[in-house]
């Protein structure tokens, strides 16, 4: 339980509603900022404007998945207003107050360095990334179905990268009956791909390996699906780039060559906002509980 803990949830989207539900269930005291347009009233949570928050009383602050803008504003789909998140506010908090975000940016990095409060980027954690790989892979299946006129079963799929997303995507497409090969650069990854019953190849051989594929799914956050790679693909190949913006594909050249290429970021929030919210809520509640125990001297 999180009884006695005061948490401010500032802005966000549908995923944050799962966080609110979970923390109320665990008996935390919640201050909600940026939820004024949300019709639902949560028992045990108070909707406030940012200037009404008692920062000195807070044990934790939860920002949305995207944190803030580069100008230090928090976006929220439940209010017409962007909410400022400033050094002045954070300096009012107790030393133990921890700030949680999905991902960081230059503004937040600089701000958190200046105020010296504990700062957690949830999406950098392995557990969150692995849980998130499940809705991401389902989203990739959805995109492939929407953009092809052939079944996944029996199609030749190249997955690039065997990280947390690549592994789940490769498994999912193989489970649907696709002939999956996976490109990686580390020998232990090539060994793991073999162990998974899939076909490994070194990314150095990418140009050769794409000559006979129907679908290419990139998870490598670097520019690897270059014009010379795309030039070798059959014209009907569908490229789905899951790597974070700007992706790892030469989209300009793909369009010029008539190869369909889709950048598909943020799939968990699109295909399964409830699950994506529960993933964040579960990990957050564990981290908040650990924080509370530590402060009580039980950690
Ligand atoms: P990860 O676990 O770090 O895996 C990245 C993979 O890319 C690893 O296999 C890594 O291999 C490889 N790689 C990195 N740099 C490379 C390079 N220069 N050349 C060749 N291979 C390279 O990351 P992840 O969690 O799987 O996430 C992958 C991407 O998907 C990220 O950009 C992430 O933000 C994004 N993502 C997208 C969605 C979505 O909805 N589309 C959802 C979640 C995450 P090494 O181990 O050899 O470096």
Pick from 135, 172, 205, 221 the residue to mutate for probing ligand 1's pocket: most ligand atoms within 8 Å of its CB.
Answer: 221
Q: Is the pLDDT of residue 184 over 80?
A: yes
CATH number of 131-265: 3.40.50.720
Rounded Cα gap, residues 40 and 33, in angstroms: 14
Same CATH topology for 6-124+272-297 and 131-265?
yes
pLDDT cut 70: percent of the chain above it = 99
What is the CATH architecture assignment of 6-124+272-297? Answer: 3-Layer(aba) Sandwich (3.40)
pLDDT tens digits, residue range 141-155? 999 999 999 999 999
Q: For the residues 87-95, what does the mean pLDDT come to? A: 97
Overall average pLDDT of the 266-288 stretch: 95
What integer best gives the mean pLDDT of the chain? 95
Smallest CA separation from ligand 1 atom 25, residue: 164
Please report which confidence band the pLDDT of residue 298 belongs to, taking 50, 70 and 90 as the band edges. Answer: low
Domain extents in the chain: 6-124+272-297, 131-265
The Å distance, Cα 41 to ligand 1 centre, comes to 39
In tens, the pLDDT along 244-269 reads 989 999 999 999 999 999 999 999 99
Rounded to an integer, the average pLDDT of 130-134 is 97
- How buried is 114 (Cβ within 10 angstroms: 0-12 exposed, 13-18 middle, 19+ buried)? exposed
Residues with CB under 6 A from ligand 1: 129, 132, 136, 161-166, 184-186, 203, 219-222, 224, 242-244, 264-268
The pLDDT score that the predictor gives to residue 250 is 98
pLDDT for res 51: 94
Q: Average pLDDT in the 12-30 region? A: 94
Q: Cis (ω within 30 of 0) for the bond into 234?
A: no
């Amino acid at each position: 339980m999180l009884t006695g803990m005061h948490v401010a949830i500032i802005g966000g989207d549908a995923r944050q509603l799962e966080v609110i539900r979970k923390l109320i269930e665990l008996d935390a005291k919640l201050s909600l900022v940026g939820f004024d347009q949300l019709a639902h009233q949560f028992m045990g949570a108070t909707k406030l404007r940012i200037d009404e928050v008692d920062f000195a009383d807070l044990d934790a602050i939860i920002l949305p998945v995207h944190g803030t803008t580069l100008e230090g504003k928090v976006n929220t789909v439940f209010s017409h207003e962007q909410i400022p998140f400033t050094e002045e506010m954070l300096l009012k908090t107790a030393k133990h107050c921890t700030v949680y975000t999905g991902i960081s940016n230059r503004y937040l990095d600089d701000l958190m360095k200046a105020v010296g409060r504990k700062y957690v980027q949830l999406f950098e954690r392995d557990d969150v990334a692995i849980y998130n790989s499940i809705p991401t892979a389902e989203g990739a299946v959805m995109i492939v179905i929407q953009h092809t006129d052939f079944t996944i079963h029996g199609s030749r799929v190249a997955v690039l990268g065997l990280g947390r997303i690549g592994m789940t995507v490769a498994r999912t497409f193989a489970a649907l009956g696709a002939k999956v090969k996976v490109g990686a650069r580390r020998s232990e990854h090539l060994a793991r791909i073999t162990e998974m019953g899939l076909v490994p190849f070194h990314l150095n051989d990418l140009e050769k390996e794409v000559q006979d594929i129907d679908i290419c799914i990139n998870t490598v956050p670097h520019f690897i699906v270059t014009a010379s790679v795309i030039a070798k693909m059959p014209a009907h190949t569908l490229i789905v780039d899951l790597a974070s913006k700007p992706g790892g594909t030469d989209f300009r050249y793909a369009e010029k060559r008539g190869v369909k290429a889709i950048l598909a970021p943020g799939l968990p929030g699109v295909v399964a906002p409830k699950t994506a919210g529960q993933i964040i809520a579960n990990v957050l509640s564990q981290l908040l509980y650990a924080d509370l125990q530590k402060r009580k001297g039980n950690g």
